[in-house]
């Protein structure tokens, strides 16, 4: 096996072994050490696979679920859905992929809330947004590439926090929450499109339109279901 293959196999084995530990020790170096022992992998190879210890282990968990979502988006027929429904499906499917590991996600949210790891958490959420947009066929490479992902990252992060506190059957409250947030996004994007399509309005509102381009969907304050609802 090539070195990259060895590292990939090590990451997968250690990650699978780590999940039972995370509920007790979080995404920590202690969890990593226990997982390395349980998986029976070479500790030196594990250090190469997770150079920052528990932090890289948490990021590997997130990336693995993004990869699963990408594979599902590539093989799932969503042609009969409106685009907003495709986005909602993808957001909910990403949450479903970690449904069996809810405590691990909760521990990850706590870890990435720390100022020292906030940038890593933001990049991980951005990657999830990029996975969804790319999986749904977005090929734009203009400024909208960034704005779409920034907006969806805000929607996904708020949905994730809502989901962590949702106890409704089948997470029905989260589904409704996601639908409302995406409707907010679509209304804003629709308003921007109307301005651009009208040459007179575009000329008169050139300055305001630039400001409108910066507007994203409302981002609710973190909290539990009810606290995030509107």
Structural tokens at position 27:
């995404």
CB 75 within 8 A of CB 54: no
CB 210 within 8 A of CB 128: no
Query: Residue 199's pLDDT is what?
Result: 61
Query: Residue 2's pLDDT is what?
Result: 66
Q: What is residue 61's three-state secondary structure?
A: helix
Radius of gyration of the chain (CA): 20
DSSP for 130-168, please give it.
HHHHHHTT----SHHHHHHHHHHHHHHHHHHHHHHT--S
State how far Cα 201 lies from the chain centre. Answer: 36
Q: Compute mean pLDDT per 10 residues along the chain, 230 residues long, and list them.
A: 81 97 96 97 95 98 98 95 94 97 96 96 96 90 82 94 96 96 75 55 49 45 33
The closest alpha carbon to 21, from 58, 62, 63, belongs to 58
Domain boundaries along the sequence of the chain: 81-212
C-alpha to C-alpha distance for 220 and 214, rounded to whole angstroms: 17
Which tens digits make up the pLDDT trace of 112-171?
999 999 999 999 999 999 999 999 998 777 777 888 899 999 999 999 999 999 999 999
The pTM for the full model equals: 0.81
Q: Give domain 81-212's CATH number out of 1.10.357, 1.10.287, 1.20.950, 1.10.12.
A: 1.10.357
Mean pLDDT of the chain: 85
């Amino acid at each position: 096996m090539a070195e990259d293959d060895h590292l990939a196999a090590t990451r997968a084995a250690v990650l699978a072994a780590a999940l039972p530990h995370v509920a007790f020790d979080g995404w920590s170096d202690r969890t990593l050490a226990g997982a390395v022992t349980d998986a029976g992998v070479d500790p030196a190879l594990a250090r190469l696979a997770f150079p920052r210890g528990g932090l890289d282990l948490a990021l590997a968990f997130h990336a693995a679920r993004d990869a699963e979502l990408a594979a599902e988006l590539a093989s799932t027929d969503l042609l009969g859905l409106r685009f907003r429904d495709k986005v909602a499906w993808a957001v909910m499917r990403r949450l479903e992929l970690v449904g069996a590991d809810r405590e691990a996600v909760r521990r990850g949210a706590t870890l990435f809330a720390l100022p020292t790891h906030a940038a890593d958490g933001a990049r991980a959420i951005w990657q999830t947004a990029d996975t969804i947009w790319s999986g749904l066929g977005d090929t734009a490479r203009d400024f909208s590439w960034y704005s779409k992902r920034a907006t969806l990252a805000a929607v996904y992060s708020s949905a994730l926090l809502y989901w962590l506190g949702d106890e409704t059957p089948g997470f029905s409250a989260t589904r409704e929450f996601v639908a409302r947030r995406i409707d907010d996004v679509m209304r804003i994007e629709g308003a921007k499109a109307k301005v651009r399509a009208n040459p007179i309005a575009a000329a008169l509102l050139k300055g305001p339109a630039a400001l409108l381009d910066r507007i994203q969907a409302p981002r609710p304050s973190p909290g539990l279901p009810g606290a995030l609802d509107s």
